């Protein structure tokens, strides 16, 4: 599927994307290409190393009943009130930045790149169809705040749980965290599946899939396949990533915590850098162990997380 870009797109989840707003993750075709070109520079690794991640959104509720969001329930009223507050804050930040740009100040962070799209294209030419409205920009901001907070916090949660189960790795983690994070992402990927909708009839592996069909790829099953990762697939062995991602498994495309192909998660560098910084700060100050009350029960509610929470005891070192 990764070499058939253009044959597949994201399936529509109206309630979900209405909550997250109309960000790049929900776009297809030329709109996605243009939006992705604008956003890509904001997630280059070297740029992210100089920036600090911010946590804004704290929770998410999956909506499955059509029209449910329109009902005046207590949760819906609270959700709409919070959404309005967030939009007010974002609009204020955007207007403040626009005024600063008019006064000659310029920043090349993500918000600056989004606003710059209203002035010139990424290739330096004048404003054209690449321009984004204020509503578009607010939608992207909400999407990235949500995605950046939720997935990274879950990654750090599982990392602390796994390092508590394997305390011998805590000292090694203080020297090298990358392969530990990769192994945690393999064992407990934030998203357990990838979904794509076929735009047209397409043949994959000798099977013809008709246009309109939704194809789901189980990330969790691929990450736990012994034919790909070896007989120790269910064990926590960060050393398998000691020579990088591509030598860790027996085939390309086997490591999918951020997706694959042209639509691979635009924020993967940001998420990994944020997780590395946070984990290093924790390891510098604490050693940790699981509390007796902890029960290991991975559970999926949008993302994979501990069903009963992660009770971890910290001790200052």
Helix (H, G, I), strand (E, B) or coil at 237: coil
For residues 26 and 171, give the distance between their C-alpha atoms in angstroms, rounded to a whole number: 41
Residue 151 catalytic? yes
Binding residues: 265
Model confidence at 194, pLDDT cuts 50, 70, 90, reads confident
Three-state DSSP at 217 gives: strand
Does residue 253 register a pLDDT over 90? Answer: no
Q: Specify the pairing of strand 312-316 against strand 303-306.
A: unpaired
Can 157 be counted among the known catalytic residues? Answer: no
Give the C-alpha separation, 189 to 218, whole Å: 11
Tens digits of residue pLDDT in 2-22: 545 566 666 665 555 555 556
| pLDDT tens digits for range 75-117 | 888 888 888 888 898 888 888 888 888 887 777 777 888 887 7
pLDDT in tens, 34-79: 877 777 777 766 666 655 444 433 344 444 555 666 777 888 888 8
Q: Which domains does the chain have, with CATH numbers?
A: 8-316 (1.10.630.10)
Active-site pick, 43, 241, 258, 288: 258
* pLDDT score recorded for residue 60: 42
Query: Looking at residue 41, what is its pLDDT?
Result: 72
Tokens 């294209």 belong to which residue? 121
pTM greater than the 0.75 cutoff = no
Q: Which residues are annotated as a binding site for heme?
A: 265
| 317 DSSP 8-state letter | -
Catalytic residue among 151, 159, 241, 270: 151
Q: Comparing C-alpha atoms, which of 126, 119, 120, 192 is closest to residue 154?
A: 192
Q: Taking residues 286-303, what's their average pLDDT? A: 89
221: left (phi over 0), alpha (psi -120 to 50) or beta: alpha
| Residue 236 known to be catalytic | no
């Amino acid at each position: 599927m990764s070499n058939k870009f253009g044959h597949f797109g994201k399936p529509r989840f109206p309630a979900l994307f209405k909550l997250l707003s109309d960000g790049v993750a929900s776009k297809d075709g030329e709109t996605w290409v243009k939006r992705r070109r604008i956003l890509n520079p904001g997630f280059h690794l070297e740029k992210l190393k100089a920036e600090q991640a911010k946590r804004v959104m704290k929770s998410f509720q999956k909506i499955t009943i059509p029209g449910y969001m329109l009902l005046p329930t207590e949760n819906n009223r609270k959700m709409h009130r919070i959404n309005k507050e967030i939009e007010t804050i974002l609009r204020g930040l955007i207007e403040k930045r626009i005024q600063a740009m008019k006064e000659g100040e310029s920043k090349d962070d993500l918000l600056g790149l989004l606003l710059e799209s209203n002035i010139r294209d990424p290739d330096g030419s004048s404003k054209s169809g690449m321009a984004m409205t204020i509503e578009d920009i607010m939608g992207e901001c909400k999407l990235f705040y949500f995605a950046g907070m939720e997935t990274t916090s879950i990654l750090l949660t599982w990392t602390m749980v796994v390092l508590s189960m394997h305390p011998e790795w805590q000292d090694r983690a203080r020297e090298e965290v990358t392969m530990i994070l990769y192994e945690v992402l393999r064992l407990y990927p934030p998203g357990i599946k990838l979904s794509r909708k076929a735009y047209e009839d397409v043949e994959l592996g000798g099977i013809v899939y008709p246009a309109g069909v939704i194809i789901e790829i189980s990330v969790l099953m691929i990450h736990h396949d012994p034919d790909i990762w070896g007989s120790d697939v269910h064990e926590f062995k960060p050393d398998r990533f000691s020579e990088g991602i591509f030598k860790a498994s027996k085939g390309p495309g086997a490591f999918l915590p951020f997706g694959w192909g042209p639509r691979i998660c635009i924020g993967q560098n940001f998420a990994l850098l944020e997780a590395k910084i946070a984990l290093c700060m924790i390891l510098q100050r604490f050693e940790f162990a699981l509390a007796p009350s902890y029960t290991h029960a991975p559970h999926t509610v949008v993302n994979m997380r501990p069903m009963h929470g992660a009770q971890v005891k910290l001790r200052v070192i």
